[in-house]
A = this chain, B = another copy of it.
Amino acid sequence: MTQRGEFQIIEQFFTHAPFGAWTSQGPGDDCALIDIGGRRIAVTCDMAALGTHFLPDADPEDVGYKALAVNLSDLAAAGAVPRAFFLSIGLPRRDDGWLADFSRGMMALAQSTGCALLGGDTTRTPEVADGRHSPAVISITAMGDLPEGKGLTRAGAKPGDDVWVSGTVGDAYAALRCRQGHWDAMPDALPQLYARMDRPVPRLALGQALLDVATAAADVSDGLLADLGHILDRSGVSAEIDFDLVPRSTALRSMTPLRQREAALSGGDDYELVFTAPAELADRVRAIGVATNTLVTRIGRIEKRTSTALVVRSGEGLLPITAGFDHFAAEEA
């Protein structure tokens, strides 16, 4: 939710002291956790634009799938069970073929995750210049159930906790770079990479199973270091992670070391979960990985907060982290 997106506006301009009968834990998490008279629900919203979040010529079925998937990923990071979503679409013109494909991709994911479309709005995006209209804009608000009083947030990581990540990271970013023609991969590896970019799998079962185990969680949308950084900031702790432990696919491992680092540490869009859990529960986390059919890998340890929030080791050395988390090593390779 709020942390994603190109510039952080909500916090600066729209943060207010709590008021009203429904309150949440405050901004800075993937979802708002709202207590409604004995029930707790999780709510998230994301806006995506063709040309910003999707390539202008992206397959509409993939666009429909992914627009919902990124919202479900926010619910997964909270440990919530998806229940309903609301869809607003701004379109330059009615295009029934595009809409049918978009809907097919979105509704198949909705059905398979039990997340019903309960409302929506459509609008025509305005003409911008010379009869040209703005591209499609998609806004989704997704809602889910949580057990009373529960729900994962980015706050709660404690010194001594392990840092874990699900699946492999960096594939979606590598796919984007290949698609843009900047990087290349073995031809056999490309379909797998592109699937990671176009069809991210929200880690719903994992997030729900971690409700009583993880101390903090976020989905990897901005990049592993950026999203772990959000956990560190919100929890008031530091971390040391070992790059050599960061799970990378065979396709990514076939690339240069610099590209592997850029993709796995700074590339976003993977929609894996990064989470923390007490060290003594490591076996339980591994068992949850098995039970939910999800690769889970311990990549580091939470430390007391110091001036250096995050240290990344590799072999005997330290990897440089400059300019915050978000643009680590970008464009080096």
Of B14, B39, B90, the contact of A120 (CB 8 Å cutoff): B14
Residues in B neighbouring A23, C-beta threshold 8 A: 116, 118
Inter-chain contact A128/B126, CB cutoff 8 Å: no
A48 at the interface (CB under 8 A from B): yes
Residues in B neighbouring A213, C-beta threshold 8 A: none
Q: Select the residue from A51, A91, A132, A141 with max chain B CB neighbours within 10 A.
A: A141
A243 at the interface (CB under 8 A from B): no
Chain A, interface size category, equals 35 or more
Which of A24-32, A170-178, A228-236, A307-315 is the interface stretch? A24-32
**Chain A 14-51 near chain B by CB (<8 Å), digits 1 or 0:** 10101111111001000110101111010111111111
| Shortest distance from the beta carbon of A284 to any chain B beta carbon, whole Å | 27
Residues in B neighbouring A48, C-beta threshold 8 A: 123
Which of A79-87, A152-160, A179-187, A194-202 is the interface stretch? A79-87
Please list the residues of chain A having a beta carbon within 8 angstroms of any beta carbon in chain B: 1-2, 4-10, 12-14, 16, 18-24, 27, 31-32, 34, 36-39, 41, 43-53, 56, 81, 83-84, 86-91, 94, 96, 99-100, 102-103, 106-107, 110-111, 114-130, 132-135, 137, 139, 141, 143, 145
25 CB contacts below 8 A, A to B, read A4-B121, A6-B123, A9-B89, A10-B87, A10-B121, A16-B110, A19-B116, A20-B116, A22-B83, A32-B86, A36-B83, A37-B39, A39-B39, A43-B118, A44-B119, A45-B120, A45-B121, A45-B141, A46-B88, A49-B90, A50-B126, A52-B123, A90-B137, A128-B133, A137-B137
